[in-house]
Structure 1
Amino acid sequence: MEIDIQFRPSYSLAIVKLVPNERIRTDSGSMVSHSADVEIETKAEGGFLKSLGRAVLGGESFFQNFWKAGAQGGEVTLAPDLPGDMAMIQMTGQTLMIQSGSYLASEAGIELSTKLSGKAFKAGEGVSMLEASGSGKLLVSSYGAIFEKDLASGEKYIVDSSHLVAFDGSMNVEALSVGGLKSTLLSGEGLVVQLTGPGHIYIQTRSPQALISWIIPQVPTKSS
């Protein structure tokens, strides 16, 4: 499988080249185009309970799409819902925590699950996490560009929870408020996440929650 990401960082498109009979799993609604001989299979991967867990706790679609190339191979192009960037991550047996809505696609050797642990948290602004594990290529997406940050062992870094895309599953994570309840209310900042290295973090430069907060007051309401 070859993945080429074009039109970065604002309107990224992933062009996925599949060898004969190869499959890629994608989030529902992410397909833009595909070769005529590429077939789609939609199913609840891992059974009903696993799919329900991903949908309720991880914020992902209950059903996922699998695109399989024909005898001559094929192409699938993918894009996320919001304008922004993508990152292709080569998984080699490690785990990766991914924010709800940032998962886009993965090879068959990668398993997705939700876990009720400190790392699979809901941090007040609608952030919930999926855990990806296994080996293969993984695509994540962002609203805005992606800023990557490497942390040394013991190094701490704080990220607004709505800007978090993904981070290494081996990292310690703690949800915090910004300077207490009063500061949180007055500053306009929400909950933040403190991550401790070593590890790698993927951060999006724009916040989907901030976009929603801006749009809602602009929507006309019926006058009484």
Structure 2
Amino acid sequence: MRFVGGEGPLTGWSKFEVQYPDDPKYHITGADSQVLTVNMAGGDKVLTEPGTMMFMSDYVKGSTQCGGCLQRCCAGESCCTMVMENTQQTMGFVGLTPNFPGKVIPVDLASDAVSGTLLCKAGAYMAHFGEVEIETDFDCNPFRACCGGAGFVRQQLAGTGTVFLNSTGTIMQKTLAEGEKIVVDTNAVLAWADGVDMDLQSAGGCCGCALGGEGVFNTVFTGPGLVMVSSMTLDQYRVAVAPEPRG
């Protein structure tokens, strides 16, 4: 996995875009409400959230896996996982799309920027192939959990395979150097490598916190490792397209 596009010389942030290898196993189509197509050799499996299947070869069969049901529910996911398996030795495919108007974000867990474990906001997981364990990470710090933008329960994706997250908005990414810090709006937090330390700092004085529009706290990430943020959360998107009527 490589990241390309628009990296500023001062910020180090860049828009997340996928640059495919010479022989890609997957392809992402569309600018939004994207479609992920995964090529499947005989016996290959793709695990995905229920309701994401859009099309597939007739010999790709789906089954349901309910292991870790409680943990998955706590992390904002369905209690079950769909297992899509190519039951023949002929090349097949499966097409998946998020359950909301969002983008598909592939992350190679074996990349140097991630080093095997990725933490992400609850509900961010969409699908994966390869060796990936879908786990739950508990943040036992009430201050950070309540005010840091990720909650008490985060998703932990560990292994050497490729995971696909889904999110609304524009996705930005930055790989932090050892000891490098970056301040992020708590609502923008999407995912970060396990080697990245997460903390909080005040968004300003009393007047700034009350009237500045940024809330009371900001999230602080300290490297090394990958940090990913989104410009608009699903909740913000829902409010924007269907605002509540004023009384």
1:112-149 CA-partner distances (Å, limit 9, x unpaired): 11122369964458734201111111111220221111
Q: Cα gap change, 1:35/1:192 in structure 2, threshold over 3 Å: closer, same or farther?
A: farther
Q: Is 1:88 paired with 2:88?
A: no
Structure 2 distance, partners of 1:166, 1:53, is 18
Q: CA deviation at 1:159?
A: 1.6
Residue among 210, 222, 225 paired with 1:199: 225
Q: Specify the SS of the correspondent of 1:114.
A: strand
Q: Specify the SS of the correspondent of 1:52.
A: helix
Could you tell me which residue of structure 2 aligns to residue 117 of structure 1?
139
Q: Cα gap change, 1:141/1:180 in structure 2, threshold over 3 Å: closer, same or farther?
A: farther
Could you tell me which residue of structure 2 aligns to residue 41 of structure 1?
63
Structure 1 distance, partners of 2:165, 2:227, is 12
Q: Is 1:70 paired with 2:87?
A: yes
Whether contact under 8 Å (2:148, 2:199) holds in the other structure is no
Structure 2 distance, partners of 1:139, 1:62, is 18
Structure 2 distance, partners of 1:44, 1:119, is 29
Q: Specify the SS of the correspondent of 2:161.
A: strand
1:189-224 CA-partner distances (Å, limit 9, x unpaired): 234321001111111122223234445643588xxx
Q: Cα gap change, 1:101/1:182 in structure 2, threshold over 3 Å: closer, same or farther?
A: farther
Structure 2 distance, partners of 1:184, 1:212, is 24
What is the one-letter code of the residue matched to 1:196?
T
Structure 2 distance, partners of 1:89, 1:175, is 25
**TM-score normalised per structure 1:** 0.84
Could you tell me which residue of structure 1 aligns to residue 177 of structure 2?
152
Residue among 62, 69, 77 paired with 1:51: 69
What is the one-letter code of the residue matched to 2:183?
I
Q: Which runs of 5+ in 1 are unaligned?
A: none
Whether contact under 8 Å (2:176, 2:223) holds in the other structure is yes
Aligned residue pairs total 215
Q: CA deviation at 1:161?
A: 2.4
Could you tell me which residue of structure 2 aligns to residue 7 of structure 1?
30
Structure 1 distance, partners of 2:104, 2:56, is 19
Q: Name which of structure 1's ranges 210-219 and 146-155 shifts more when overlaid on structure 2.
A: 210-219
Q: Is 1:138 paired with 2:155?
A: no
1:26-83 CA-partner distances (Å, limit 9, x unpaired): 11222222111111111212xxxx3202211x11111111111121232111111333
Structure 2 distance, partners of 1:125, 1:157, is 14
Alignment identity in percent?
Answer: 25
Q: Is 1:188 paired with 2:206?
A: no
Q: Which runs of 5+ in 2 are unaligned?
A: 1-23
Structure 1 distance, partners of 2:237, 2:188, is 12
Q: Cα gap change, 1:135/1:195 in structure 2, threshold over 3 Å: closer, same or farther?
A: same
Structure 2 distance, partners of 1:163, 1:106, is 23
Whether contact under 8 Å (1:141, 1:165) holds in the other structure is no
Could you tell me which residue of structure 1 aligns to residue 235 of structure 2?
209
Q: Specify the SS of the correspondent of 2:156.
A: strand
Q: Cα gap change, 1:30/1:162 in structure 2, threshold over 3 Å: closer, same or farther?
A: farther
Q: Name which of structure 1's ranges 62-71 and 160-169 shifts more when overlaid on structure 2.
A: 160-169
Could you tell me which residue of structure 2 aligns to residue 99 of structure 1?
121
**TM-score normalised per structure 2:** 0.77
1:144-170 CA-partner distances (Å, limit 9, x unpaired): 221111211111112222222211111
